[in-house]
């Protein structure tokens, strides 16, 4: 008669594997519950109310009356930025050298990274209105696109009216809170390890600088022909 005898190490491993399977199952359930809550959508309020103010860019009056109004409106729809504030003047408190005061919050048009610019499918006419700017992040060269003539747009402040609110399912909310209580630090750290290790910032792959680790003479040799070099030295 054969007996399935397990050592103490095998028993501990089995207990750990069962616990990991249970954590992964709860994680999948948590993701499904959050997805269901998100898909509930919104419903209209019986009585809308105001919550602060919002500010965004609109076409300037002379641009809105020109023949290119629709053209610039299409560009603005892709690079517009909205800000929200509880104050109509959009001022924020600032304390400097022991003195407190209020300053107006700055607001600029959206600058697009090179990968964002490619995804937006600008036409050739729209691309001509943007210029490239180079900047460095952690010694990595990056490119962003900036609109050439921001003066064509002005800021407009209007009340921020709330007309909808998200639908609520009490059963889903109750289950979400139960799963949140399970995700304490040890369980969350274990899930991160099982998922391959999150919370690790990975540098995006940007095009490498062609002039990196090259002397001036090497750059001249690559981009200037041999005849021009001889003329410079003669």
Q: Which two tokens stand for residue 142?
A: 């990056």
Taking only the tens place, the pLDDT of each residue in 7-35 is 888 888 888 888 888 888 888 888 899 99
Predicted TM-score (pTM) of this structure = 0.63
Q: Give the Cα separation of 131 and 147 in Å (integer).
A: 6
Round to whole Å and give the CA distance between 172 and 32.
Answer: 10
Reported as a single tens digit per residue, the pLDDT across 199-230 is: 444 444 445 566 667 777 777 676 665 455 44
- Residue 57's pLDDT band, with cuts at 50, 70 and 90, is very high
Each residue of 147-171: pLDDT tens digit?
999 999 999 999 999 999 999 999 9
């Amino acid at each position: 008669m054969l007996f399935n005898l397990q050592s103490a190490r095998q028993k501990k491993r089995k207990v750990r594997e069962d616990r990991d399977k249970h954590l992964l199952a709860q994680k999948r359930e948590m993701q499904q519950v959050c997805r269901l809550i998100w898909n509930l959508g919104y419903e209209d309020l019986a009585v809308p109310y105001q919550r602060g103010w919002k500010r965004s860019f609109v076409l300037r009056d002379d641009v809105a009356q020109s023949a290119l109004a629709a053209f610039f409106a299409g560009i603005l729809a892709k690079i517009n930025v909205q800000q929200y504030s509880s104050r109509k003047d959009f001022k924020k408190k600032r304390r400097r050298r022991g003195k407190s005061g209020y300053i107006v919050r700055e607001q600029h048009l959206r600058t697009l990274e090179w990968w964002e610019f490619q995804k937006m499918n600008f036409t050739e006419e729209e691309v001509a209105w943007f210029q490239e700017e180079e900047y460095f992040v952690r010694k990595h060269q990056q490119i962003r696109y900036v609109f050439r003539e921001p003066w064509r747009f002005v800021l407009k402040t209007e009340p921020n009216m709330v007309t909808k609110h998200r639908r609520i399912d009490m059963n889903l909310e109750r289950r979400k809170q139960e799963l949140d209580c399970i995700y304490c630090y040890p369980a969350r750290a274990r899930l991160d390890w099982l998922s391959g290790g999150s919370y690790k910032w990975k540098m995006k792959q940007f095009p490498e600088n062609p002039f990196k680790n090259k002397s001036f003479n090497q750059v001249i040799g690559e981009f200037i022909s041999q005849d021009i070099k001889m003329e410079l030295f003669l």
